[in-house]
Amino acid sequence: MFLLTWLTLPLLFLPKINILSFGRETAGIRIDDLILLIFAVVCFWGNLTVRKSFSDIEKCVAYITGLALVSFIINRVLNVADILNVQSSLFYALRLLEYFSFFYIGKMAVRFYSTNTIILLFFLWNALLMVLQKIQLIGIFTSDGYQPITSDRILGIASFGSEIGLLLNMLFCYFIYMSRAKNAENLAEMEARGARQVNAPYLLLLLFVLLVVFSGARTAIATLLITFFACLRDIIDWRKPKTLILPTCTILVGVALTVIALYSFSGIVTRSKGLLSFKNIELISTVWDNIILDYDPIGRESVSLGAHDASWWMRIHKWCYALKLYVQHPECWILGIGPGFAMAALDGGFLRIFTELGIVGSFFYAKFFYSIASLSRQLAWMTIVFMLNMIFFDAHLAYKPMTLLLLIAGATMQSQAK
């Protein structure tokens, strides 16, 4: 078991680089794919042969994977019968099962190493890469391989800005709730542990603000601030005005750092000029009425960019395409149109699950994330920020965020079982 941990745990720290790519898909054959898939199957089979009861999380993964395979087969049948003009992908059907191997890696690793140490090393490794990338000593790692830096977005070990933004959101939640009991501590209890414990959330915020801004992920910036404000409920005694001084100063400094970083170190401001335009709202109905479902809309959008926010404009075309296709095929409402039909990136995780796996798949995914969130307060908040980011990108298909969440879930479940 110790050797298995040494073989698999380092995969968390390695960048995702495809050895073999498939057209426009971001998913390809990677170095770790075969190792993880075999490992996951062996763990499932091992639990089955010893007749060990499965946890709710394991059951949900089995149901989702089985459903995805059924949906994949139905999609191919409907495609051959010329009822559907889109094809599902087997890779997407098995993606969650592959990622889920980190649940077992976490259960093994916690027997030999502290989870806090693993996560701290993972954060330091990402932070180091981001700093080196910012000063352009090294390049970035994408699914296509190692590339020199060509934009202001710093990715760390991730493959795109939204992915590293979510990773930083999750790590912030992990660290900010790391040293607390399951029930929130009050300020007096924290002061008894010393000033370092009291100041930690504020120092973490200032550090993560800079890193998240470097990523260029707008949703991650908003999510970081939401998480921090929620944390203030536990560390401020509203009956003592003096306890408001430190958080107020930190928020002011944090806002100042954010503004300076936004205008000086990233391209967020430049690409967000049309974000608050009312035309973005009007765009929804216009695209819905004009979009053609005979082909992938990316590169052949039905409405010109004009003054719209570029990210919003592209998302609306993707979202209208997937949802309108789903609405027009009632036979797919229960089990979905099929895993992977909605392009390489739909940029909307909830919509992707709903349209690809239907009502049943959405139910089991909801139960899956709820089961993870129920394990600890850390995982509850990590799941919350996961959900917030999932609105605007396919977070459940993002390799590093999902494996990090599942590794911590496995380690937490194993620790609670002792």
Sequence-distant (≥ 6) Cβ neighbours of residue 401 within 8 angstroms: 163, 166, 167, 170, 386, 389, 395
Residue 114's CB: how many other CB atoms inside 10 A?
12
| DSSP string for residues in 216-256 | T-HHHHHHHHHHHHHHHHHH--TT-GGGGHHHHHHHHHHHH
- Distance, in Å, from the CA atom of 136 to the CA atom of 132, rounded to the nearest integer, reads 6
- Length of the chain as a residue count: 418
CB 390 within 8 A of CB 396: yes
CB atoms within 10 A of CB 235: 22
CA dist 250 → 87, 155, 238 (Å): 51, 26, 17
Strands 29-30, 140-142: parallel, antiparallel or unpaired by DSSP?
unpaired
Model pLDDT, residue 46: 66
Q: Which residues contact 273 (CB under 8 A, 6 or more apart)?
A: 309
Quote the pTM value. 0.85
Give a three-class secondary structure readout of 266-335. Answer: CCHHHHCCCCCCCHHHHHHHHHHHHCCCCCCCCCCCCCCCCCCCHHHHHHHHHHHHHHHHHHCCHHHCCC
Q: Which DSSP category does 392 fall into?
A: T
Classified as helix, coil or strand, 147 is strand
Distance CA 61, CA 402 (A): 13
Q: What is the DSSP letter of 53?
A: P
Report d(CA 415, CA 138) in Å as an integer. 38
Distance CA 165, CA 218 (A): 8
Q: Which of the residues in the chain have pLDDT under 70?
A: 1-4, 17-34, 37, 40-41, 43-52, 143-145, 150-152, 179-199, 234-244, 246-247, 250, 254, 257-279, 305-308, 418
Nearest to 375 by CA among 106, 128, 142, 148: 106
